[in-house]
């Protein structure tokens, strides 16, 4: 077990002790005071939402995983009839979602599936614009 192996220095022992105290205190509060949530999520969002670390739904997590299969081969871009500049790159660069929202194609012709059917790794390309806009908007808010 990686966490528990290695030499037990005083510093290490102390960290584990703090962790144990914090954990027990939290359990005690939940049990005896009925406090289920002490605002940790809100505090986290206050600090980090601006940096794009907003919570994701299970569906979004799955989507991001499939977007990360992009190999930058450029096939999608080569066959897209829309005047879009280098948009497959966005499938990976999630941290740039805020900027990408303005650059993405307005909308695809409903019958066009060119990029998705040819992408060798199966990136769900048509879902990117909507997702980026959603998350881009969430981040600006």
Partner 1 sequence: MGAPTGEQAVTLPVLVIGAGLAGTVAAARLQARGVPVRVLADRPGATLLHGGGWQLGPDALRESHPAAEAALDDALDFVRIGLESLALTEGLFDLPDVEGARRACELAPATHAVVDGFGKGHAVADLSPLGHPFAAMQGRGTVVTVEWPPYPDVFGRSFAAMAHRLEADPTEPARLIEALKRALKGTRHDALLLPPVLGISRTEALRRQVAAALGIPVGEALDALPSTPGFRLHAALTAWLNAARVPMQTARVASISLDPLGVQVGDLLVPARAIVLATGRYLTGGLTMHPAVREPLADLPLTPSVPTNPLWHARTDGPYDGRVFETGVGHDPGFRALGLDGRPVHPHVYAVGDLLGGGDTLTQASASGMCIASAWVAATTIADGFATGEKT
Binding site for ligand SF4 (CB under 6 A): 70-76, 79-82, 88, 91, 105, 108-109, 112-115, 119-121, 123, 125-126
Give the one entry of partner 1, ligand SF4, none that residue 29 binds, where binding means its C-beta sits below a cut-off of 5 to 8 angstroms depending on kind: none
| 26/35 Cα distance (integer angstroms) | 9
Q: Is-contact 97 52, C-beta < 8 A? A: yes
| Closer to partner 1 by Cβ: residue 24 or 121 | 121
- Given the rule CB under 8 A, which of 15-23, 27-35, 41-49, 75-83 is the region that contacts partner 1? 75-83
List the one residue out of 91, 87, 86 whose CA is nearest residue 65. 91
| 112/82 Cα distance (integer angstroms) | 10
Q: Which of 37, 51, 85, 111 binds partner 1 (CB under 8 A)?
A: 85
| 127/65 Cα distance (integer angstroms) | 13
Q: Give residues 94-133 in contact with partner 1 (rule: CB under 8 A).
A: 117-122
Would you give the end-to-end CA distance of the chain in angstroms?
Answer: 42
| Closer to ligand SF4 by Cβ: residue 91 or 135 | 91
List the one residue out of 107, 102, 53 whose CA is nearest residue 82. 107
54 in contact with partner 1 (CB under 8 A): no
Q: Which residues bind partner 1 (CB under 8 A)?
A: 71-75, 77-79, 81, 83, 85-86, 117-122
């Amino acid at each position: 077990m990686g966490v528990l192996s290695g030499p037990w220095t005083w510093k290490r022992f102390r960290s584990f002790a703090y962790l144990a105290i914090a954990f027990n205190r939290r359990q005690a509060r939940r049990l005896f005071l009925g406090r289920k949530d002490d605002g940790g999520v809100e505090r986290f969002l206050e600090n980090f939402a601006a940096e794009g670390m907003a919570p994701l739904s299970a569906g979004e997590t799955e989507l991001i995983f499939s977007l990360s299969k992009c190999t930058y081969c450029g096939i999608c871009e080569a066959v897209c009839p829309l005047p879009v500049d280098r948009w497959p790159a966005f499938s990976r660069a999630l941290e740039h979602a805020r900027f990408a929202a303005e650059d993405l194609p307005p909308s695809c012709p409903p019958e066009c599936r060119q990029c998705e059917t040819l992408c060798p790794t199966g990136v769900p390309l048509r879902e990117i614009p909507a997702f980026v806009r959603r998350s881009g908007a969430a981040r600006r808010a």
